[in-house]
Structure 1
Amino acid sequence: MELPIQYTEKMQKLLREEYPEYLESFEDSRNFGLRVNLLKLTPEAFCDKSAFPLTPVPWCNEGFYYAGDQRPAKHPYYHAGFYYLQEPSAMSPGAILPIQPGEKVLDVCAAPGGKSTQLGAKLQGEGLLVANDISAGRAKALLKNIELFGIRNSIVMSEPPERLKERLPNYFDKILIDAPCSGEGMFRKEPDMVKSWNEEMLSFCQKEQAGILEACAEMLRPGGMMLYSTCTFGVEENEKSIAEFLERHQEFSLIPIAKQYGFSSGIGELQQCARLYPHKIKGEGHFLALMQKTGEGNQGIISEEVGEQEKDILPFLEFEKEVLKTKLDGTIKIFGESLYLLPEGMPSMKGLRALRTGWQLGTLKKGRFEPSQAFAMGLAKDEVSNVEDFLLADDRVIRYLKGETVEADGRDGWTLVCVDGFPLGWAKRQGGRLKNKYAVGWKWE
């Protein structure tokens, strides 16, 4: 690979005697990783089920390496939301930011959703995840991954961070900033990124990083933690960005990140930060800075959404009584034709651009309720009274995922289709046939 001379000179100065070893890492094959969905099953249970060999990623308890000749995206377990395919180093920010169930968490640059799904799984269905990306197009991929993982307690948004800070001051317990950067740490994995590397891009990224940090500083409550990460090596985008932020914000301080698993210390005075180099770990390049907001003050109090009257959601209540074993607990809200179960304590979304506001249950049309794909993925088998559970080896699993009608005797009506006990989607059973309701955009190809 031909690297820009200006870049190689900078890396020689940064790495010194380690530079030849760094260059040699480009001869190594890239690493492939997946991260188990803790909302669905434990890493141990997944390993028992896995159809391909796995090796643990040391810095992420639910992360695993898999061989490059394997195709985990072409497996029914992927469609059941068992795991997310993620570069191993990219698992480190979500692993290091300490998330507790019940917290309010923001992933401010969230698409395509790798880190958001990791944070959402750690919440274990309690609290609130706000997954935001300024690009509406990229936010659509983020939305699919949130839904595939079965995360009920999330809001998927597409707003500039400056807009969010106006509405959500001192609101979040934890914030993850996977900042836009020059991507130097991904050159081995994505060689095309080398072509776009230049000084103009570096300057643009630094400006964006500063703006995002400023906005997030206002959204974090006193006592809360914020993790800043990039997939680049440049001091300008890493230690310099953090040092300048800390100089402007005396209420923030760095929390040391343990130097284990091959992690290196930050440059200069910011030794508390961590750097991941491809010649020291099995992964690509990354930078991590964990900060805590000190000072006094209360978490911001935000007006909450008000639920619907029962008369307005009667078709859903009839579906709930017929199909679910127990009544859903929480606030139900209609946005357009869609029906949502709102996360507890969810703020008012009036005036904000949101792709999803909670757990989308389905749509209300002409006096009837049609359950959504997201509804199916967020359920557990034992929450539904009418289930068709196929074994993995059953050819009807793939046929269902391709959108075909399949044969299966049982009670007529809405049916949750599962594989090995885990939901794939809906079907409507009639006369021993399952009329396929699997999401069109999710079909097996």
Structure 2
Amino acid sequence: MELPVQFAELMKNLLGNEYEDYLASYANPRLYGLRVNTNKISCEEFEKISPFHLKKIPWIPNGYYYGEEESPAKHPYYFAGLYYLQEPSAMTPASLLPIEEGDRVLDLCAAPGGKSTELGAKLKGTGVLVANDISVSRAKGLLKNIELFGISNSLIVSETPEKLEQYFTGYFDKILIDAPCSGEGMFRKDPAMIKSWIEKGPEFYAEIQKGIILSAARMLKPGGMMLFSTCTFSPVENEGTIAYLLENCSGFSIMELPQYEGFSHGLGGGEFEKCVRIWPHKAQGEGHFIALLKKAEDDGVTASHIRENRDDKVLYTETKPAKNKKDRPDKNQKKRGRSVSVEEDPDSGLRELENFIADAGINREGRILKVHEGNAYLVPEGTEGIRGFRFLRTGLFLGELKKNRFEPSQALAMSFMKEGYPNTVNLPVSDQRVIRYLKGETIELEDITDQKASGWRLVCVDGYPLGWGKLTSCSLKNKYYPGWRWQI
């Protein structure tokens, strides 16, 4: 691989007599990683059912290497959200941010979702995860991965950090910033990034990072923790951005991170040695930089809150019954997006939704049921008042209310745990009907159901949900989300 001359000179200065070892690492094949979704399955259970040859990643508790010849993205377990495919070093930031159940967590530069899915798995359905990416197109991929993982307590947003800051001052317990960078650490994995480095370079990204990290600092609550990471080697972007934060925000300190074989300390001495650098000639992964920071308890922010902009369009309205005729909605009310109760409109599907929630045993603790323009959601408590953002999703999308019926969503199917829904069709992974289902085909079930069976069924592979089907006389009408269908 031909590296830019300027980059090569910079690396010689950084590495000294290790530079030749670094160059030699480009001859090594790239590494492939798989991270188990511990929100659905334990590592021990996954190792028992895994069809792949796996090797543990030493510094990631739920991370594994797999061979290039294997195809985990073409396996039904991938469609069941049992794992995420991610470069081994890139797993490190979310693994090292100490998430606790009930935390309010922000993934500020979240797409495509590798880090958000791990943060959500750590929350185990508690607290709230705000996953943001400024690019709407990239945020759509983020949404799919969040829903595939069965994460039910997330807000998917596409905004600038400055816009988020207006609402979330001092709100988050934990923030992760996997910052846009020059990508020097990914040259071996993706040589196309060299062109971007030549066109823009570290200084361009360092300026972007400075704005991002200051906004994030203001959104972190006193005593909260923030992890900053990049996939570059540049001290201008890495230690330089951390130094900029410390100079401009009093009360922040760098926290010690665990050291594993192959990890190196940050550059610059002193507190910066607490940061972690991953070099491809020392560890079995691509290049990465990680710094964990803590905000002082007495930084001057006295309360965690969400600010509301009441001039913006209302995102949700409560489903409350009308007390008398004059309080009932006019015929255009539903068109304007307002919610209608069972008493107001018995044909709206609300009764079926309520029955479905009760029959399925859906846990509503810490979440509020909201209906907007015929769509039903479970929204994390405390976030229902947010207005004015570009949302791709708020909370768990339950499904659609249609005339006299409720149709559950793909996201709801993925949110169920193993054996969490009473009416299932459970197929072994070896059954060809699994692939036919994932392709969107109708499947016949004479061998596992009776002629009288009917209604919604949660289709599972080896007990893990894939999606919905509507059963009638042993024939399962496919309700798998078209945008996710097997295309291989």
* Bin for the TM-score computed over the shorter chain: over 0.9
Give 1:327 deviation, angstroms: 6.5
Aligned match of 1:94: 94
TM-score by length of 1: 0.97
Give the one of 440, 448, 467 matched to 1:425: 467
Secondary structure in structure 1 of the residue aligned to 2:397: strand
- Amino acid in structure 2 at the alignment position of 1:249: C
Residue in structure 1 matching 2:399, options 362, 372, 382: 362
Q: Paired residue for 2:305, among 293, 301, 307?
A: 301
Task: Answer whether contact 1:303 1:347 (CA < 8 A) is retained.
Answer: no
Identity %: 53
> 1:381–1:387: 8 Å Cα contact kept in structure 2?
no
Name the CA shift for 1:326/1:177 in 2 (closer, same or farther; >3 Å). closer
On the 8 A contact 2:307/2:386 being kept in 1, the answer is: no
Rg comparison, structure with higher value: 2
Partner of 2:65: helix, strand, or coil? strand
Q: CA deviation at 1:205?
A: 0.8
Pairing 1:36–2:33 present = no
1:326 Cα deviation from its structure 2 partner: 5.8
* Cα distance, 1:328–1:248 mapped onto 2, change above 3 Å: closer
Residues 307 and 331, structure 1, Cα contact 8 Å, conserved in 2: no
1:337 aligns with 2:380: no
Shift of 1:259: 2.5
Partner of 2:421: 384
1:156 counterpart SS class? strand
Q: Is the 8 A contact 1:302 1:347 kept in 2?
A: no
3-state secondary structure, aligned to 1:8 = helix
Q: Are residue 181 (structure 1) and residue 176 (structure 2) matched?
A: no
What is the total number of aligned residue pairs between the two structures?
444
Q: What is the rounded CA distance, in whole Å, between the counterparts of 1:207 and 1:403 in structure 2?
A: 47
- Letter in structure 2 aligned against 1:308: T
Q: Which residue of 1 aligns with 2:324?
A: none
Name structure 2 gaps, 5 residues minimum: 309-315, 322-340, 343-349
The offset of 1:298, in angstroms, is: 4.1
Amino acid at match of 2:182: S
Whether 1:253 and 2:253 are equivalent positions in the alignment is yes
CA gap of 1:225–1:327, structure 2 versus 1, over 3 A, is: closer
Which sections of structure 1, spanning at least 5 residues, go unmatched? none
| Structure 1 contact 306–331 (Cα < 8 Å) conserved | no
Cα shift readout 1:357-382 (whole Å, capped 9, x = no counterpart): 00000112334211110000001243
Displacement after TM superposition at 1:241 (Å) = 1.0
Question: Amino acid of the residue matched to residue 387 of structure 1?
Answer: T
Query: Helix, strand or coil for the counterpart of 1:382?
Result: coil
Secondary structure at the aligned position of 2:33 is classed as strand
State the one-letter code of the partner of 1:7.
F
State the Cα deviation string for residues 255-295 of structure 1 (Å, max 9, x = none): 02232231101011311111000000000000001000003
- The RMSD of aligned alpha carbons is 1.6
Tell me the alpha carbon deviations over residues 413-441 of structure 1, each in whole angstroms, 9 at most, x when there is no partner: 01100011110000000010000000101
Question: Which runs of structure 2 are paired with 1:178-327 in the superposition (5 Å)?
Answer: 178-198=178-198, 200-269=200-269, 270-296=272-298, 297-302=301-306, 307-309=318-320, 311-312=341-342, 313-321=350-358, 323-325=359-361
Shift of 1:303: 6.8
Structure 2 CA distance for aligned equivalents of residues 299 and 388 of structure 1: 48
Paired residue secondary structure (1:271): helix
Please give the alpha-carbon distance, in whole angstroms, between the structure 1 residues aligned to 2:266 and 2:421. 50
Q: 2:476 aligned with 1:437, yes or no?
A: no
